[in-house]
């Protein structure tokens, strides 16, 4: 149920009889007033409008009043005109206004303006029974009239319905693509339209009975942000910039439709034979063992945290908890349960820790050396199972020219943040099911990792000269043409985020590239945005008192051209993140309801240069080439 429908259900029962909550109550049939504070409240006029103010919408106690206006309602109006005072009071969260309308009203729109001299603005309106429900961001004057373009409706801007559906394209190993709508329980959608002066108008969406398709009514033509909240593992709102009335919200995955996942304890005993002599360690200090399957949505690392074979072992017999094994597919999804009857193939493989190069630039080299293809594995949720894993040698048939331009990455550190320091370099040759080209690269990131070349700046040299490691061989396995290779570069920076009157916060920034296979030097293609500012002030310096809707701005990168910038806001002392993809201009105004007074935040501005990343590009599709670069700011407090 949309926010609008939810509020309508709660309010309809009381709108006809009149009610008000708060102190200093004065109620008449033509008006009402009450003191409403940060805790929120409701104010209603008998037979007239109702105002529902949620907790957190007001920063301080405010006397709110509703009064019938002496202004003459236009011909054909469905209600009288009412004044809501104090005029132009703004809210940090959407406030719901409900008007009574004649029984049998089939269509109508709430018209709103911030002042008596302003222009009427048509709001997205839900007609429910004898009420018309809309949401506002400020007080002013309003009434209900015919929808824009109908009868005696006031002059208004061109409006359209925005319609979309969450869809998943399941691309299985046999090459079949199955498109299905994906229900989104608990998810809300809305359109945010920025008006002159920076304020936003919010248009809530209503889901169809299928739970996947939705409509946002009466959105003005032009640019808007589609806001999505409540997705699984999502910690805050996500915004995507669009102009189209039919945004594409489809995504491609390589796992099969109806895949079951481990919901309860599912112990799996592994009998692994023919390991290369095992070297324990973490991601960069020892061997790596992974379990991978495209159709079963697996990319598991069972011994990254603890356990695994002993030093020098060539075999292993032990139990792993399938449900809790570290998963590195998209969103750290719960591991899928392979089913041999569905054609699921599971790969078990060892990447052997080695070194490459000489001197200070000697790097970590993790090629796949042993692997096993298992096609008869079926796991059931909650049931123990045993699997024999007879490893065999992986042909070292791949080759890659590894010419790393370390100095070019190091030169971008100051653009990441003035206090940024090199942390880690990683270069991978990945194999992904079906292909890596935009727009059909599977977003579940199920990968087999035939090669990892890495350097840890925290244990080695703080800086390195440009280094060529020559032609590097690596192991290749997996069915062809199912598995397709591409190259990925990740350069990590430690960032010490400064904040007002407190110790710095440890964070990180990344410069990344995903590219088609080539022998080109491994070097950055896109740099971070430069000169981040908040309300026109340097955002590499801590700021306080910035307000609840500050404007973040930036200058273009010195290296490359960004096709979009993702603005990410993270709470320092809370589990909260906010993301907005901006494709137009070099600034973004934070919408209401994101920031909270007294809390502290910092931002990352991620420049992106991507295939297909143009106006109205599908929000959930990806593919190579793809480049990104982070700029990490200091803290700010509203």
Measured CA to CA, the distance from residue 181 to residue 214 in angstroms comes to: 11
So what's the pLDDT on residue 36?
95
pLDDT of residue 116: 62
Question: In which residue are the tokens 């010490």 written?
Answer: 496
Instruction: Specify the pLDDT at position 25.
Output: 36
Amino acid 450: pLDDT:
79
Q: How far is CA 485 from CA 426, 431, 445, 449, 611, in A?
A: 16, 4, 13, 9, 17
| pLDDT for 80 | 93
580 vs 102: CA distance, rounded Å = 41
Per 3-state DSSP, the chain is made up of helix, strand and coil in percentages (nearest 5) of 5, 45, 45
Closest to 527 (Cα-Cα) out of 603, 581, 607:
607
CATH fold group of domain 160-253: Immunoglobulin-like (2.60.40)
Position 90 scores a pLDDT of: 84
CA dihedral 134, 136, 142, 145 (to 10 degrees): -30
Q: What is the reported pTM?
A: 0.80
Phi, psi of 175 (to 5 degrees): 95, -5
pLDDT, one tens digit per residue, over 298-319 is 999 998 767 899 999 999 999 9
According to the model, what pLDDT value does residue 550 have? 96
Please report the pLDDT score of residue 444 as a whole number. Answer: 83
Q: How far is CA 173 from CA 16, 125, 178, 419, 440, in A?
A: 60, 46, 12, 46, 14
Distance CA 79, CA 69 (A): 11
Tens-place pLDDT, residues 578-627: 999 999 999 999 999 899 999 999 999 999 999 889 889 999 999 999 99
Indicate the SS3 state at residue 414. Answer: helix
Cα–Cα–Cα angle for 303, 304, 309, rounded to 5 degrees: 35
d(CA 304, CA 292): 15
Strands (E), 54-199: 62-68, 82-85, 90-100, 109-113, 121-122, 126-128, 131-138, 141-145, 159-171, 177-181, 188-194
Q: Enumerate residue ranges in the chain where pLDDT < 50.
A: 1-28
Mean pLDDT of the chain, nearest integer:
89
**Which token pair is 192?**
């945010």
Chain Cα centroid distance, residue 216: 20
User: Is there a contact between 508 and 422 (Cβ–Cβ < 8 Å)?
Assistant: no
- Residue 477 phi, psi (nearest 5): -150, 165
Question: What percent of the chain has a predicted confidence (pLDDT) above 90?
Answer: 72
DSSP bridge partners of 439? none
Quickly count: other Cβ atoms within 10 Å of residue 392's Cβ: 12
Residue 151: count of CB within 10 angstroms of its CB: 10
The size of the chain, in residues, is: 638
Q: Please state which CATH number belongs to domain 3-156.
A: 2.60.220.30
Half-sphere exposure for 459 (CA within 13 Å, toward CB): 9
In this prediction, residue 5 carries a pLDDT of: 39
Task: Collapse the DSSP code of 13 into the 3-class scheme (helix H, G, I; strand E, B; otherwise coil) and give the result.
Answer: helix
Extended strands (E) in 527-586: 530-534, 537-538, 543-544, 551-555, 564-571, 577-582
Looking at residue 570, its pLDDT comes to 95
What tens digit of pLDDT does each residue of 526-536 get? Answer: 999 999 999 99
DSSP-derived 3-state class of residue 46: coil
């Amino acid at each position: 149920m949309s926010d609008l429908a939810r509020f309508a259900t709660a309010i309809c029962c009381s709108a006809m009889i009149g009610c008000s909550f708060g102190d200093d109550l004065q109620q008449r049939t033509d008006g009402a007033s009450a003191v409403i504070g940060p805790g929120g409240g409701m104010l209603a006029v008998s037979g007239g409008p109702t105002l529902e103010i949620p907790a957190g919408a007001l920063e301080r106690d405010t006397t709110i009043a509703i009064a019938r206006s002496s202004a003459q309602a236009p011909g054909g109006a469905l209600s009288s005109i009412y004044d809501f005072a104090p005029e132009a009071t703004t809210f940090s969260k959407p406030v719901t206004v409900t008007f009574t309308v004649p029984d049998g009203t089939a269509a109508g729109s709430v018209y709103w303006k911030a002042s008596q001299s302003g222009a009427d603005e048509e709001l997205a309106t839900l007609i429910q029974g004898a009420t018309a429900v809309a949401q506002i961001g400020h007080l002013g004057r309003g009434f209900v009239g015919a929808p824009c373009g109908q009868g005696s409706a006031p002059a208004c801007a061109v409006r359209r319905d925005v319609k979309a559906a969450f869809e998943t394209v399941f691309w299985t190993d046999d090459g079949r693509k199955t498109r299905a709508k994906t229900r989104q329980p608990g998810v809300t959608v809305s359109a945010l339209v920025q008006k002159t002066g920076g304020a936003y108008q919010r248009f809530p969406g209503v889901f169809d009975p299928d739970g996947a398709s939705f409509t946002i009514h009466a959105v003005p033509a032009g640019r808007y942000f589609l806001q999505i909240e409540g997705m699984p593992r999502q910690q805050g709102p996500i915004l995507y910039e669009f102009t189209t009335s039919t945004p594409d919200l489809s995504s491609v995955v390589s796992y099969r439709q109806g895949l079951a996942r481990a919901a309860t304890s599912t112990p799996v005993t592994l009998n692994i034979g023919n390991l290369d002599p095992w070297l324990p360690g973490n991601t960069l200090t020892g061997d790596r063992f992974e379990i991978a399957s495209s159709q079963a949505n697996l990319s598991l690392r069972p011994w990254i945290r603890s356990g695994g074979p002993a030093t020098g072992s060539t075999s292993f017999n032990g139990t792993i908890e399938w449900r809790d094994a570290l998963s590195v597919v998209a969103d750290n999804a719960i591991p899928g349960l392979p089913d041999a009857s569905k054609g699921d193939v599971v790969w078990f493989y060892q990447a052997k820790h080695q070194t490459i190069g000489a001197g200070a630039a000697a790097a970590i080299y993790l090629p796949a050396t042993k692997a096993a293809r298992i096609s008869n594995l079926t796991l059931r949720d909650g049931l123990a199972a045993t699997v024999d894993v007879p490893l065999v040698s992986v042909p070292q048939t791949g080759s890659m020219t590894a010419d790393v331009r370390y100095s070019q990455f190091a030169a971008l550190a100051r653009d990441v943040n003035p206090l940024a320091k090199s942390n880690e370099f990683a270069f991978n040759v990945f194999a992904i099911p079906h292909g890596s080209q935009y727009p059909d690269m599977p977003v579940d990131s199920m990968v087999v990792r035939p090669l990892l070349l890495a350097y840890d700046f925290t244990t080695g040299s703080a800086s390195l000269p440009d280094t060529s490691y020559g032609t590097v061989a690596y192991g290749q396995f997996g069915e062809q043409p199912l598995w397709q290779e591409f190259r990925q570069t990740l350069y990590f920076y430690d960032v010490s985020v400064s904040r007002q009157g407190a110790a710095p916060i440890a964070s990180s920034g990344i410069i990344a590239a995903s590219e088609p296979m080539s022998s080109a030097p491994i070097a950055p293609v896109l740099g971070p945005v430069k000169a981040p500012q908040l309300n026109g002030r340097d955002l590499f310096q801590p700021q306080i008192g910035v307000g609840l809707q500050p404007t973040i701005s930036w200058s273009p990168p010195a290296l490359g051209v960004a096709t979009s910038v993702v603005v990410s806001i993270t709470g320092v002392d809370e589990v909260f993140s906010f993301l907005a993809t901006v494709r137009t201009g070099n600034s973004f105004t934070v919408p209401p309801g994101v920031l909270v007074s007294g809390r502290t935040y910092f931002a990352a501005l991620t420049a992106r240069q991507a295939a297909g990343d143009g106006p109205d590009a599908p929000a959930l599709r990806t593919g190579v080439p793809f480049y990104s670069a982070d700029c990490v700011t200091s803290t700010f407090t509203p």
